[in-house]
A = this chain, B = another copy of it.
Amino acid sequence: MHRFYVPELSHDGVSQLPDDEAQHLARVLRLNAGDTVAVFDGKGREALACVESVASRRVTVKILEPRTPAPEAAVAVTLAQALLKSDKMDRVIRDAVMLGVSAIQPFVSRRTDVPRAALRTGVRQDRWDRTVVASVKQCGRAVVPPVLDTQDFAAVLASTSGRVRVMLVEPGSGGDVAVADVASLEGRRPSEAMVWVGPEGGWDPGEVRDAARAGVTLVSLGGRVLRADAAAAAAIAVLRYIWRDL
């Protein structure tokens, strides 16, 4: 069943697909009037629909009946991910969506190796948004989590106090700061949580200290160094397990 993202989904009548979704339906998949598809609004609603008309750049569908999307997680996890080089960031976003995150907060830390100028054009943000939608379609969710505006590490740290925050640190990188066993998070499932993952070059020791002081729980995922683009998915999967929220 092909799934299409229709943010302005009508509740019972006829909806028009956005341009890119219309083109995908008509030109790539070559579907026609009468075909059955699934549509979702990105806010959790999904429905079976019938393709009503296919013209160049204009495709309309008619809602048939509600359809159950993949379940949303109980813990609203925001992934705070230090900027990575382009394809690695895409991979992190794709995997995080698949593992049910509620939002992605990119940030710039001291060892971030991506020029901020690359962000100003908005090209990367557009690409991230498209990656999110593609992953949502593939994993069966009907919620499109936002990629928030990129901020500095300190700004994200300051603006998220009070939340349950978990920072993934490399083995031995805690310095004089205590690193918790991830198992210590068992038994208290929060309603929302923020998971912090550093850049390719790792955290600066000052950042780790600042985070600990601000009440962030530092955890390590074992004795081997995880690649920056694989760490978020491993951490989120384990946390979801710990919180009985897979």
The interface of chain A, by Cβ under 8 A from chain B, is: 70-71, 94-95, 98-100, 138-141, 171, 182-183, 221-227, 230, 233-235, 237-238, 240-242, 244, 246
User: Which of B183, B221, B244 is within 8 Å of A244, CB to CB?
Assistant: B183
Q: Is the CB of B182 within 8 A of A224?
A: no
Q: How far is the CA of A98 from the CA of B94 in the complex (A)?
A: 20
User: Which of B71, B224, B240 is within 8 Å of A139, CB to CB?
Assistant: B224
* Chain B neighbourhood of A222, CB < 8 A: 100, 240, 246
Q: How far is the CA of A238 from the CA of B242 in the complex (A)?
A: 9
* Chain B neighbourhood of A237, CB < 8 A: 221, 233-235, 237-238
List the B residue with the shortest CB-CB distance to A223: B71
16 contacts between A and B (CB under 8 A): A70-B223, A98-B224, A98-B226, A98-B230, A99-B224, A99-B226, A138-B225, A140-B223, A140-B224, A141-B224, A182-B246, A183-B244, A233-B237, A234-B237, A241-B241, A241-B242
* Chain B neighbourhood of A244, CB < 8 A: 183
List the B residue with the shortest CB-CB distance to A71: B223
* Chain B neighbourhood of A98, CB < 8 A: 224-227, 230
* Chain B neighbourhood of A225, CB < 8 A: 70, 98, 138-140
Q: Is the CB of B171 within 8 A of A224?
A: no
Give the Cβ gap from A111 to chain B, nearest Cβ, in Å.
16
Indicate the member of A71, A233, A234, A242 with the most B CB atoms within 10 Å.
A234
Q: How far is the CA of A180 from the CA of B1 in the complex (A)?
A: 26
* Chain B neighbourhood of A235, CB < 8 A: 237
Q: How far is the CA of A230 from the CA of B96 in the complex (A)?
A: 10
User: Which of B70, B182, B230 is within 8 Å of A241, CB to CB?
Assistant: B182
Give the Cβ gap from A135 to chain B, nearest Cβ, in Å.
8
Give the Cβ gap from A183 to chain B, nearest Cβ, in Å.
7
